[in-house]
Structure 1
Amino acid sequence: MEAPFDVTLLMIVTVVAGISAQVLADRFRVPGIVLLLLFGIILGPDCLGWLRPQLLGDGLEVIVSLSVAIILFEGGLNLNLRELGRVSGSLRNLVTVGTLITLVGGGLAAHYLGEFPWPIAFLYASLVVVTGPTVIGPLLKHVPVDRQVATLLEGEGVLIDPVGAILAVLVLDLVLNGDADPLRVLTGLLIRLFIGAGIGAAGGAFLGVFLRRASFLSEDLKNLVVLAGLWALFGLGQEILSESGLMATVVAGMVLRAYGLPEERLLRRFKSQLTILAVSVLFILLAADLSLASLVVLGWGGVATVLVLMFVVRPLNVAICTWKSPLNWRQKLFVAWVGPRGIVSASVSSLFAILLTERGINGGDSIKALVFLTIIMTVLTQGLSAGALANFLQITATKAKGALIVGSNPLSRLIARLFKERNESVVLIDTNPEAAKEAEQEDFRVFLNSAMDTEVLEEAGLEDLGTFLAMTKNGEVNLVLAQRAIEEFNPPRVLAVFPRDPQARIPANKTKIRQALIPDLPLKTWNQYLTDGEVKLGETSLKERGFAFQVAHLQALIHAGAMMPLLIERQGVLQVVIANESWQPGDRIIYLFHAPKPKLLKRLSGGNQSHLTVEKLQEVEEIDIPESALDAPVTTDKKRKKRQSKEQTTTNSSGGQPPVTSKNSHHKQAPIS
């Protein structure tokens, strides 16, 4: 009973350590692979000795194979063919020409600098041609670069994995059999890719049709059907021709996504969770199986080999493969810097080390050590510096400008105009013909359609806009629209007007969807204020000196229901105000101030006949807001109405302007009629 218990304890410790590493990585916003490698080495035989992967025997190879199949399928499922089309030329070059450049460059570096024999040097190079979605994906979540760069890196990571794995197997076959025929290697690679793609396309289509028609299946069972199906396709490919199963899983994921299943969001979430578990287990086990002594033996030659791979081979690869692409030099430089190696390199090199040792060929442990050294150096340097480099190159998605607003109402059109006046692209979407016509009359680009239609969002250009704002009358609909936008386009800033009911459903992706505007200020009321012309447009810059007083002043006006913050201009980027957001010195707040008309004046002007147009936005003028508004948080609604009535009388007798009581205020307001 001791051996089975040891294996059980091994898997328990592995899973606990892997998930713990992922939690800590998410907490401190570092690539998960960094802590996974660290935990695996510490728990391995060379340190604490709590993990001994050799107890698994052949089971390690089984775990590696099935886990890699899940990882690649999830990568294919997340690929957006529409976005890939924009970088298809560069992506094709990276997967084909780029593979050859890395193979040759890596082999030369390993031979001349690492002092490896030619066969072993090129075997190492074949193992590191891949990057990998398990590293690129989490990295891009922490570093939100613009969509073209992110799509190119994600596509390369997913598509080059099966190519690299198959190439490595073919090079290993040459090393073991000694028959160096490049033509045979190329033919074997193409045949395996073709067979795998065919199996994946047919299998993915079958799964898509089956899931659409199998209405009797629950959502949870459908997820398990997909899991069983992808493993079946992987096994079929492996049975027909070794290593073709990897390509089958990638293509199956891409085809299944193209079917647009209603349960696709739940399926991707399930597969994402499986991928995190698979990556956690694999990296812990493989790192624990790594000998630290073998890393030391590599010496400076191994370090130099990896440095050449990072600073010479990768930049040359990207420069050639993106020569005629529309990417600018900043984007190309970032792609050239980010090329961390991941789970496929680690898992295949571990298996190769076992096979070479069994055949009595020296170099298996050295190859594994050099591959892991490559993983460690690329992940640590590129993963930890990618954010700073993206900010320096100014290619972060958070810098993207423009807005797509769902819902045409007076408030949304005012926000749209404020974006437009700063030369930012704005698009509105509404299903109401009258609301859409009003937006057209104000010279906005409008789509009379549903924002649930991804083709409409694509035509509206959401990929290139920085903000998605859902502010229809229905808060639940806003949440659904925002989730849809994230799943299909993942814009930098996704906002929605949530229901004011505290028992309302919380969005599933609450870390990405932000609550727009102030929830305690009903949009219906402020839309009516705008229609009646009872508001003034104002702006104020928050200064370092007196910052706390300014914020308290503004918050008092908000709690009194007298002011509605709309936009914040921060570091040159115009953003919609987010609920409960902490303001900072230097922020420029653009807001609406409720300035009710006297009842007699409203009757004479026709009540609610005023409409908001561009021509009615007057020049901003310097006026002050009464400091008496600071008492607003403790004022009841009845008292506030009485106070507003007094203020109306005072305003009417003083020519329409509120009294000036503070000389230090920096507010600016413009009346909107």
Structure 2
Amino acid sequence: MASLDSVSIAIFLGAVLVMAGILSSLLALRFGAPLLLVFLLIGIMAGESGPGRIEFDDLRTTYLVGSVALALILFDGGLRTRFQNISAVLAPSMVLATIGVLLTALITAPVAKYVLDLNWTEALLVGAVVASTDAAAVFLLVHAQGLRLRPRVGATLEAESGTNDPFAVFLTLMLVELISVGGSSFAHVAMELGREAVLGAVFGIVGGRLVVLGLNRVALPQGLHAPFVLTAALVIFAATQIVHASGFLAVYLAGIIIGNRPTRAHNALVTFLDAATWLAQIVMFVLLGLLASPQRLVVSIGPAVVIALVLMLVARPLAVFLCLLPFRFNWREKIFIAWTGLRGAVAIFLASIPMLVGLTKAYLYFDVAFVIVVISLLLQGWTLAAAARRLHVALPRAERGPRRVELDLPGQLEQQLVGYPVRPKSLFFRRGLTPSWSKPTLVIRDQHILSPAEADPVRPGDYVYLLAPPEKAESLDRFFVDMPPSSAPDPHLLGDFTVSGEHTLGELAEVYGVKVNPDQTALTLADYFDIHLDHAPKEGATLDLDPIILVARSISGGRVNVIGLRLPEDPEEVPSAPPPLELFKQKLASFWSSVAGI
């Protein structure tokens, strides 16, 4: 009976922990990744040195759980990555994910050798363990703190954090093998790295395509699509690892393939993975906390703090600046990318590998990585939003998205039904705007289902359902949140080729002589961007308007605030009806003089 009672107690404690994890997701939106440190603390307190007195030294289970959790986290990150967003930053991201990790490890190694009294190979192993940024921490913090990063910065961090773990794992395993077995040539290391990367990419791309094919061809019962994809991701990961290739790279690429193709139940899959990855992180942090020993941590804390400071303030910034030197990033962007190099559970997971194979000083690697992760999440994690604002690389979202309902339509993959409550201050209610690629289909009012014609005019409190492509559904959010107060554009920006987004197409037509549909003359330029863009407006987005190209120069509250006008360079490109280019400029100058009262 005592053994049965112990099983019941284990089930009870496990269920309480899972419930706490689910409820803690609400706090995560406020506190971000540092909340995960609470679960590290829970693990430490439940361990042999804490009040819980649980003896736990099962390194194989820890490695198994850590591998599964990291695979799910990387798959979830790939699933959310839009390829068109990262295609322009693939080169700098890959340099950071490979050369950047290597440089960080090399710069950190001399400090580790001196403060920990290690040889060069052991010191380099310490550097490799803590060299990569943690995808889970980066993804969680960016979303939890409501940051809207500049597109290039956000895409670079997203791609780097998702792809540098495979290289860090490879580097760690090679150094562990070097310490435990003996010397290895540079040619052998390079060959192994190339083989793992190539095979991992092949398994990931082919596996992702097969999952898409199976998901769309096999008629699974409702609710099983997400578990099918989740287990398929683990199959891809495990199969790649079995052939001694990079399963972490494979599962990340599989996520990108699946996330960028039309599939059934895409939104159910994303929601399911949200819960799965969050719980996986919690379990991983608790297990890592159980392995930690406060007595050992006290001995290692001094050298670990020195290594952490060198890593955050010297090694990572220097590696970022050197890697991004050939690319056109300004110094503010480079500093922010350097500061966002958070260390998380991946570093502790990598530090458990020497313990698993029984290396001497294995617990030293673990304890140092543990302390570095705690310092990184506390110092970098809680200052990330402040750093983004101070460096002008991101704007905090004024309001979280509305409650969106998404329904798959059987028989096709190109459209889904997306529903929103109508708010009195929303762009949809005040302006009646919807993007050109969406179609209002039905309205629910007082428990009655109405067609858009029957419901016209729409009232606050109605629920509107629109047809939209699944990959663009999130871009509808901006039409159903409360409109922010209009922000006056910077008058210094309003020169000959820049106008305020609040001016109408009719006013622009008078100045430039461009052709505008009569029913669109009352539309503001900001409205024109909202209707015709496939995504939420971003700086640099362009739209054609007769011979003129409109360029989004400034974004305020999710809408285009200042718009640049790119005129034809050759006067012959201008249609015969409008005046010549010089007259355009004269009219524009006259127009702005009258507006400004000059």
Asked if structure 1 preserves the Cα contact closer than 8 Å seen for 2:66 and 2:284, the reply is: yes
Which residues in structure 2 correspond to 1:271-310 (within 5 Å)? 271-310=273-312
Q: 1:450 maps to what in 2?
A: 437
Asked if structure 1 preserves the Cα contact closer than 8 Å seen for 2:317 and 2:338, the reply is: yes
Q: 1:265 maps to what in 2?
A: 267
SS at match of 2:342: coil
Distance 1:412-1:276 versus aligned 2 partners, 3 A rule: closer
* 2:89 maps to amino acid: V
Which residues in structure 2 correspond to 1:117-516 (within 5 Å)? 117-141=119-143, 142=145, 143-214=147-218, 216-241=219-244, 244-356=246-358, 361-398=359-396, 449-451=436-438, 485=472, 487=474, 494-497=477-480, 514-516=481-483
Considering Cα pairs closer than 8 Å and 6+ residues apart, tell me whether 1 or 2 has the greater RCO. Answer: 2
* Cα shift at 1:415: 8.9
Asked if structure 1 preserves the Cα contact closer than 8 Å seen for 2:437 and 2:468, the reply is: no
Deviation per CA, 1:575-619: give whole Å up to 9, x if none: 489xxxxxxxxxxxxxxxxxxxxxxxxxxxxxxxxxxxx9999x9
Provide the C-alpha distance between the structure 2 equivalents of 1:66 and 1:412, rounded to a whole number of angstroms: 43
Mark the structure with the bigger radius of gyration. Answer: 1
Provide the C-alpha distance between the structure 1 equivalents of 2:354 and 2:317, rounded to a whole number of angstroms: 28
* Cα shift at 1:38: 2.9
Q: 2:489 maps to what in 1?
A: none
Q: 2:445 maps to what in 1?
A: none
Q: 1:456 maps to what in 2?
A: none
Provide the C-alpha distance between the structure 1 equivalents of 2:473 and 2:39, rounded to a whole number of angstroms: 28
* 1:206 maps to amino acid: L
Deviation per CA, 1:297-327: give whole Å up to 9, x if none: 1243221111111111111111011113232
* 1:159 maps to amino acid: T
Deviation per CA, 1:446-504: give whole Å up to 9, x if none: xxx4158xxxxxxxxxxxxxxxxxxx9777557776996564x69xxx4334xxxxxxx
Q: 1:405 maps to what in 2?
A: none
Q: 1:598 maps to what in 2?
A: none
Asked if structure 1 preserves the Cα contact closer than 8 Å seen for 2:215 and 2:264, the reply is: no
Paired residues in the alignment total: 450
Q: 1:48 maps to what in 2?
A: 51
* 2:198 maps to amino acid: F
* Cα shift at 1:114: 2.9
Provide the C-alpha distance between the structure 2 equivalents of 1:282 and 1:325, rounded to a whole number of angstroms: 37
Asked if structure 1 preserves the Cα contact closer than 8 Å seen for 2:427 and 2:482, the reply is: no
Asked if structure 2 preserves the Cα contact closer than 8 Å seen for 1:76 and 1:252, the reply is: yes
SS at match of 1:381: helix
Distance 1:484-1:75 versus aligned 2 partners, 3 A rule: closer
Contiguous gaps of at least 5 residues in structure 2: 399-425, 440-455, 486-517, 519-553, 560-587
Provide the C-alpha distance between the structure 1 equivalents of 2:468 and 2:133, rounded to a whole number of angstroms: 34
Asked if structure 2 preserves the Cα contact closer than 8 Å seen for 1:171 and 1:185, the reply is: no
Q: In angstroms, what is the RMSD of aligned CA positions?
A: 3.8
Asked if structure 2 preserves the Cα contact closer than 8 Å seen for 1:126 and 1:164, the reply is: yes
SS at match of 1:397: strand
The two structures have a TM-score, normalised by structure 1, of 0.60
Provide the C-alpha distance between the structure 2 equivalents of 1:413 and 1:202, rounded to a whole number of angstroms: 42
Q: 1:433 maps to what in 2?
A: none
* 2:207 maps to amino acid: G
1:35 aligns with 2:66: no
Asked if structure 2 preserves the Cα contact closer than 8 Å seen for 1:120 and 1:363, the reply is: no
Deviation per CA, 1:248-292: give whole Å up to 9, x if none: 211111111222324222212211211011001101111222111
Asked if structure 2 preserves the Cα contact closer than 8 Å seen for 1:10 and 1:51, the reply is: no
SS at match of 1:269: helix
SS at match of 2:203: helix
* 1:91 maps to amino acid: S
* Cα shift at 1:13: 5.2
Q: 2:93 maps to what in 1?
A: 91
Percent of aligned positions that are identical: 26
Q: 1:564 maps to what in 2?
A: none
* 2:91 maps to amino acid: G
The two structures have a TM-score, normalised by structure 2, of 0.67
Asked if structure 2 preserves the Cα contact closer than 8 Å seen for 1:170 and 1:188, the reply is: no
Provide the C-alpha distance between the structure 1 equivalents of 2:172 and 2:332, rounded to a whole number of angstroms: 32
Q: 2:102 maps to what in 1?
A: 100
Contiguous gaps of at least 5 residues in structure 1: 401-410, 417-427, 431-448, 453-471, 498-513, 519-530, 532-571, 578-613, 621-673
Asked if structure 2 preserves the Cα contact closer than 8 Å seen for 1:114 and 1:304, the reply is: no
Deviation per CA, 1:514-541: give whole Å up to 9, x if none: 24599xxxxxxxxxxxx9xxxxxxxxxx
Provide the C-alpha distance between the structure 1 equivalents of 2:53 and 2:19, rounded to a whole number of angstroms: 12
Asked if structure 2 preserves the Cα contact closer than 8 Å seen for 1:67 and 1:278, the reply is: yes
SS at match of 2:237: helix
Asked if structure 2 preserves the Cα contact closer than 8 Å seen for 1:77 and 1:254, the reply is: yes
Distance 1:248-1:353 versus aligned 2 partners, 3 A rule: same
SS at match of 2:478: strand
* 1:226 maps to amino acid: V
* 1:380 maps to amino acid: L
* Cα shift at 1:204: 0.7
* 1:393 maps to amino acid: L
Provide the C-alpha distance between the structure 1 equivalents of 2:473 and 2:289, rounded to a whole number of angstroms: 34
